[in-house]
């Protein structure tokens, strides 16, 4: 049971963390081995901003997998729709930034509505395969359309209609605050869905689809709405990625990115919002810093039996993922939650024992 007065505690902790992250670019904080420099330097801010983007993407995927129980291999399609959609609108149609963002989100919603309605005609693994097919089709269209999407070279950001305070290395701090705002927005949307009747219905469908239909409810409609909302959040993260990286690449559409996001969610803990954020941040930092570690002189001087695997960041990340699945099956957040439940259970049993002992002791005194 939740103790009275404790319901506000997660929101207070979250608010404090957001404030700390907001003032971080104004501080001279150094974390050796994790950040390339002090927190006010462009390199550290760029890394932290990328962490924010993938944390938002992981949150959107956790809404699919954790809340509705839908295993999708094509979630990157909507991330790419946001990035490429805004890039094409700015470049080909000379649309201003703010209207372009809304049109890109609308386009991502339409794509999600069509693809989701088709994919949800099946469940389980067939659903995952259909979403994978849509993602691969989107990747092919992006790679083959050289004039519109830039093909294999990717699409550069046309800064003519982007405010000056969002362009260039000198404005990395503003881009950091923008990506932080995106994470907060996505988190609030996911929180609203999880606590709404829609989220409860989607969670009930995840547990027992047949029972929900027997009750006369419409689980398919609820799952489709959750699918579209998750796609919108992914598209918003893609827009942040485009502005941060000053462009996008075909890898932002392919299924490989979805697998990466799936690893983030599993690493953080499926079904936990803060776990998805931790997983996205941790994976992004490891991916970036292990690449630097692989090029270090100390690694290059090791024997081949050690140098070859340690020089491959994906190998190290794969080993980490295997260890998490084997020893922390619930992910980071799931392990913490299990530990807290055990502590509460022990305290509850102690309280029950004391409650049973007190009448007997009182009777003995009398």
Residue 210 sits in the same domain as residue 353: no
DSSP class of 96: -
In order along its 366 residues, the chain shows pLDDT tens digits of 444 445 677 778 888 888 999 998 988 888 887 888 888 899 899 999 999 999 999 999 999 999 888 999 999 999 999 999 999 999 888 888 999 999 999 999 999 999 999 999 998 899 999 999 999 999 989 988 888 888 888 888 888 888 888 888 888 999 999 999 999 999 999 999 999 999 899 888 888 888 888 887 888 899 999 999 999 999 999 999 999 998 898 888 888 888 889 989 999 888 889 899 999 999 999 888 877 777 776 777 777 777 777 777 777 778 888 888 788 878 888 888 888 888 877 665 545 443 544 443 444 433
Residue 248 sits in the same domain as residue 364: no
- List, in order, residues 6 or more apart from 111 with CB less than 8 Å away: 77, 78, 81, 231
Cα–Cα distances (Å) from 205 to 144, 201, 215, in that order, read: 39, 6, 11
Residue 126 sits in the same domain as residue 54: yes
Residue 28 sits in the same domain as residue 155: yes
pLDDT recorded at residue 206 = 87
- pLDDT, one tens digit per residue, over 316-353 is 778 888 888 788 878 888 888 888 888 877 665 545 44
Half-sphere exposure of 324 (CA within 13 A, CB side): 23
Residue 267 sits in the same domain as residue 344: no
Residue 32 CA, chain-centre distance (Å), reads 25
Cβ neighbours, 10 Å, residue 212: 19
If one counts the domains in the chain, the total is 2
Residue 267 sits in the same domain as residue 358: no
Domain holding 216, by residue range, is 23-277
pTM: 0.88
Residue 214 sits in the same domain as residue 106: yes
Q: Is residue 217 part of a domain?
A: yes
């Amino acid at each position: 049971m939740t103790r009275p007065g404790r319901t506000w505690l997660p929101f207070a902790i979250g608010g404090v963390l957001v404030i700390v992250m907001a003032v971080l670019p104004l501080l001279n904080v150094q974390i050796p081995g994790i950040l390339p420099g002090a927190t006010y330097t462009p390199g550290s801010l760029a890394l932290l901003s990328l962490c924010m983007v993938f944390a938002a993407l992981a949150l959107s995927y956790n809404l699919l997998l954790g809340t509705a129980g839908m295993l999708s291999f094509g979630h990157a399609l909507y991330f790419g729709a946001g990035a490429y959609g805004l890039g094409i609108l700015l470049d080909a149609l000379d649309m201003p930034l703010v209207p372009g963002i809304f049109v890109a989100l609308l386009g991502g919603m339409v794509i999600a509505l069509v693809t989701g309605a088709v994919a949800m005609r099946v469940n389980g693994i067939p659903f995952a395969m259909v979403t994978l097919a849509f993602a691969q089709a989107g990747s092919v269209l992006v790679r083959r359309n050289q004039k519109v999407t830039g093909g294999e070279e990717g699409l550069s950001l046309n800064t003519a209609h982007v405010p000056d305070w969002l362009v260039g290395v000198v404005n990395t701090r503003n881009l950091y605050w923008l990506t932080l705002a995106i994470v907060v927005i996505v988190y609030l949307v996911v929180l609203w869905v999880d606590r709404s009747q829609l989220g409860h219905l989607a969670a009930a469908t995840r547990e027992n689809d047949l029972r929900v239909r027997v009750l006369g409810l419409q689980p398919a409609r609820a799952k489709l709405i959750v699918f579209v909302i998750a796609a919108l959040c992914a598209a918003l993260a893609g827009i942040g990625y485009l502005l941060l990286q000053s462009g996008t690449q075909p890898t932002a559409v392919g299924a490989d990115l979805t697998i990466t996001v799936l690893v983030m969610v599993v690493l953080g803990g499926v079904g936990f919002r803060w776990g998805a954020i931790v997983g996205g941040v941790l994976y992004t930092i490891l991916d970036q810093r292990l690449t630097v570690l692989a090029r270090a002189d100390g690694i290059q001087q090791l024997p081949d039996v050690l140098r070859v695997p340690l020089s491959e960041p994906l190998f190290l990340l794969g080993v980490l993922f295997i260890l998490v699945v084997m020893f922390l099956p619930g992910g980071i957040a799931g392990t913490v939650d299990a530990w807290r439940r055990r502590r509460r259970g022990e305290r509850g049993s102690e309280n029950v024992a004391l409650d049973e002992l007190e009448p007997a002791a009182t009777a003995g005194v009398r």
